[in-house]
Copies of this chain bind each other. A is one copy, B any other.
Amino acid sequence: MELWYTEEQTPSLRLSCKVRETLTTAQTPYQHLAIIDTEAFGPMLVLDGMVMTTIADEFVYHEMISHPALFTHPCPRKVAVIGGGDGGAIREVLQHPQVEKAILAEIDGEVIAQSRKFLPEIAGALGNPKVEIHIGDGFAYLREHKGEFDIVLVDSTEPVGPAVALFSRDFYAAVYAALRPDGIMVAQTESPFYNQEILAGAYKGMQAVFPKVHTYLASIPTYPSGLWSFTLASKQYDPLTNQRQPHPGFISKYYTPELHRSCFVLPQFVRELLSRP
């Protein structure tokens, strides 16, 4: 018998992966969770029918949600990750020796528990003593911690289910307030091909709150269209002029110091999308 997992990326587009084994499934209070072992990508975390991460290509997403901001800030000591229960962003954050505390604020404790069990390559860093885990609403967490963070990374699901509020102007204002006076936020902002309204809305929402906003791109094969956007909003530092170089021992499979600059160079159609009035 052949088992295939099919994601309905849009109502008229589907990606299907051959499955070796279902490792776990659960209905959590927030969403349906599955971890399946696929032939093409190895173990894959699926939330509400959407691929969140896979062993084969998680490096792109986790390096690229983290390093552009962390190599822009001159000394990122305290970093919060909102969402990101698989622990991949935390793992990359901890590559930076300046980081003293990395807080994971994830609403769904099951994502953390199952990732630690079935995706240890991704979640392994969650046991690091610098990590503090808060299981609860990330929005509420930020409201209660004003002026504390050098960097906030918003590693959310698509804006359906628990993540809807994380794409609102109120949320960006809460992130602004939770950041120190020279803080930086980064949010995943969906596919520039398939989710243009979400990307443009997030970009404008952050522009209404932060003085410096830049969208950048990375290639993630298991995400719809294979091209993904992140948007960096900063109170003070500019990613193109305040770039630090990696320290000895820094390891990456996607990020490079040259890519730190080139990822901000957008195709013409994305430039036009972001400059729409």
A 1-57 contacts with B by CB, 8 A: 4, 6, 10-18, 38-40, 57
Are the CB atoms of B268 and A256 closer together than 8 Å? yes
The answer to whether A253 and B227 have CB atoms under 8 Å apart is: no
Alpha-carbon separation in the docked complex, A194 to B18 (Å): 15
- Cβ–Cβ < 8 Å partners of A207 in chain B: none
Q: Is the CB of B16 within 8 A of A11?
A: no
Which residues does chain B contribute within 8 Å of A252, judged by CB atoms?
Answer: 268
State which size class the interface on A falls in: 35 or more
- Residues of B contacting A16 in the complex (Cβ-Cβ under 8 angstroms): 6, 13-16
* A259 touches which of B59, B256, B265 (Cβ 8 Å): B265
- Choice from B18, B40, B262, B267 contacting A254 with Cβ under 8 Å: B267
Which of A73-81, A104-112, A127-135, A217-225 lies at the binding interface?
A: A217-225
Q: Which residue of B lies closest to A16 (CB)?
A: B14
Q: Output the least CB separation between A55 and chain B (Å).
A: 14
Residues of B within 8 A of A194 (CB): 221
Pair A193/B254 contact, Cβ less than 8 Å: no
Q: Name A256's contact: one of B17, B224, B265 (CB within 8 Å).
A: B265
Please give, as numbers and ranges, the residues of chain B lying within 8 Å of A224 by CB-CB distance: 221
How far is A227 from B38 in the complex, measured between Cα atoms in Å?
20
A226 close to B (CB within 8 Å): yes
The CA-CA distance from A258 to B17 in the complex, in Å, is 36
Which residue, of A14, A15, A194, has the highest number of chain B Cβ atoms within 10 A? A14
Give 5 closest A-B pairs by Cβ, nearest first: A226-B226, A12-B39, A262-B262, A262-B265, A12-B18
